Amino acid sequence: MSSATRYFRLIGSLGRYALARELSFRGNFLAKVSVEVLWLGILLAFYRTIFARTSSIAEWSEPQYLFFVGCFFALNGLIETLFLENCDGFAELVRTGDLDFLLLKPIDEQFLITCRRVDWSTAPNVVMGAAVMVLSLWQMHWAFEPARIVAFFVSFACGVMIAYCFMLMLTSVSVWMVRNQGLMEMWWLFSSLARYPKEIFSHTWADPIGRFFTYILPILLVVNVPSQAMVRILDWRMVGFTLLATIVLFWVSRKFFQKALRSYRSASS
Amino acid sequence: MTPPELATAAPSEMEVPAFSMPVESNPAGFAATLRKYTKIFRASLVERLTYRADFLFSTLLRFLPMLTTILLWQAIYATATPDETSTPGHKRLSGFQFDEMIAYLLMVNISRMFSSMPGLAGGIARDIREGTIKKYLLQPLDLIGYLLSYRVAHKVSYIISSALPYAVLFFICRGFFRGHVPTEPTVWLAFATSLVLAFAVGFFFEASVGMVGFWFLEVTSILYIVMTLNFFISGHMFPLDLLPRPWSTILKSLPFQYMAYFPAVIFLGKVRGAALAYGLLLQLCWAGVFICLARWLYRRGLRRYSAYGG
């Protein structure tokens, strides 16, 4: 238990340190936030343009789809705040051999490597995404249901963890691959799968691909299950499966990461 | 998360080894020459294949966004209310059938292959900030000229090395192009011209943004805003025709459409005849405007430049 409190205290101090650093470059912070606001605006413009032509996409009605967009934006924002910058720096740590200094610290390597910096500039995305979600709930006259809220928060947390596990595995690959492509790009490409409702895969030739990314590499669960639970059908079996997938994936990705670390040859340090 | 400039991750960044050709002094004849060039070929190939895992992996990942895009538009076309001009079985949205829409979204990648300039503006701004721009002032070398020739070489190697993955992608998606590949040589010529001009517009536009570094030391944030906006207003996300009336007209009169939208619609035969000639002329004019703007900003900027650091 004391080790758990130690990690919480560490997260707290790392977060405070990052915030202090971020606030010493306030102009830069505001600029970064305004880019994110602009990007949300573009996503909403895209959504409006499409829904000017149709009343539903893959069985998602307009307000339901808006909720999906908000959920995606918030979830992605949280991942970027907590993990993306850290994972992006990993390849460089391996290349320069600076990873040695992190490995020497008396703390879990995975925690230190993936959580050491908090990127506060994307934290407002969580709030903006939440605002979009609330707006869509208001638009669809959502009836308050505590069960849905519970299911949403559980599967949202699982979604963040699943995404984190995939990011961790993509990050680990850079130990073996010479000259890794930037993780940012790889993450952008891979997470494009989670950007749209998974129903776009069904009833077409892509159905097996959709199943593959739901049950084998479950990236499609990430935004779909929380959105689904909140505004469409609340299927506890799916929420349960997401929970199970999160646990399995966490174990697999941790093993994978440790295997990668064992192959690290500490070059040029 | 805003879209990263994907072209930076392209195999373009891999440097092509420069082999200097040894002068042939051994008169052993054809066999020796052949052996020598085979060796060079093998060495180059090995150098290329060092990054094979990485290359294959990223190529594989690159297909994913295209897959979801196709599926998304399929879902949209399944329920959308078509234009009045649509014929049964050929649903059109703002004049685009489903296969044309996908062909458009694929062709936009080709436009961006020419017009995207990863790292150009940021590099200029860094040179200004760190004072390394001095090297262009001390030598008989023009900054813009140097960067232009560097960029052309970069683009050539990028286009050659990404030809194979793109060929595979287009081959898989060949069904969407059925009946939309231009048959007239003039359309091909216009398409090629618009791609070259897209390169010019993209290059000089970004160079101009980089020159802003003479006035503001930190331009990365401006750059991010411009690039994010460009993703939308250049027609990279969807054809500009889909936007409601005032917006589509406004965006089509801005220069950004020439970096993605315009070459793609030429290929699909959406602009023809006088409109095509007029469009190309306007694209040429915009290229000219940005050439002058970059030059002017450079000249004005140098007057302000006080050579810190370096």
The stretch B176-184 carries a mean pLDDT of 91
Phi–psi pair at A255, nearest 5 degrees: -60, -45
Residue B25: what pLDDT? 47
Q: How far is the CA of B248 from the CAs of A155, B235, B238, B284, in angstroms?
A: 39, 10, 11, 21
DSSP B82-108: PPTT-BTTB-EETTEEHHHHHHHHHHH
Question: Tens of pLDDT along A53-85?
Answer: 899 999 999 999 999 999 999 999 999 999 999
User: Residue B130: how many CB atoms within 10 A of its CB?
Assistant: 12
What ipTM goes with this model? 0.90
Q: Is the pLDDT of residue A128 over 60?
A: yes
Interface of B with A (CB under 8 A): 1-4, 6, 8-9, 14, 50-51, 53-54, 57-58, 61-62, 64-65, 67-68, 71-72, 74-76, 78-81, 93, 218, 221-222, 224-225, 228-229, 231-232, 237-238, 242-244
Question: Tens of pLDDT along B211-230?
Answer: 988 888 778 888 888 988 99
Tell me the nearest-neighbour CA distance from A190 into chain B, angstroms. Answer: 6
Nearest by CB to residue A181, choosing from B58, B65, B238, is B58
* Minimal-distance CA residue of chain B relative to A85: B1
Residue A84 at interface with chain B, using a CB cutoff of 8 Å: yes
Question: Tens of pLDDT along B291-304?
Answer: 999 999 999 999 88
* Minimal-distance CA residue of chain B relative to A42: B232
Question: Tens of pLDDT along B51-60?
Answer: 667 777 777 8
Sequence spans of domains, chain B? 62-304
Residue A50 at interface with chain B, using a CB cutoff of 8 Å: yes
Name the percent of chain A lying above pLDDT 70. 97
Tell me the nearest-neighbour CA distance from A47 into chain B, angstroms. Answer: 11
Highest mean pLDDT among A251-255, A260-264, B161-165: A251-255
Across the interface, whether the CB atoms of B3 and A188 are under 8 A apart is answered yes
**Residue A179 pLDDT grade (very low, low, confident, very high; cuts 50, 70, 90):** low
Q: Is the pLDDT of residue B20 over 70?
A: no
Sequence spans of domains, chain A? 2-262
Across the interface, whether the CB atoms of B68 and A57 are under 8 A apart is answered no
Q: What is the DSSP letter of B181?
A: S
User: Residue A236: how many CB atoms within 10 A of its CB?
Assistant: 10
> Between these two residues, A11 and A95, which has the higher pLDDT value?
A11
**Residue B14 pLDDT grade (very low, low, confident, very high; cuts 50, 70, 90):** very low
Across the interface, whether the CB atoms of A38 and B76 are under 8 A apart is answered no
Across the interface, whether the CB atoms of A35 and B80 are under 8 A apart is answered no
Q: Is the pLDDT of residue B17 over 60?
A: no
A36 contact residues in B (CB cutoff 8 A): 2
Q: Is the pLDDT of residue B4 over 80?
A: no
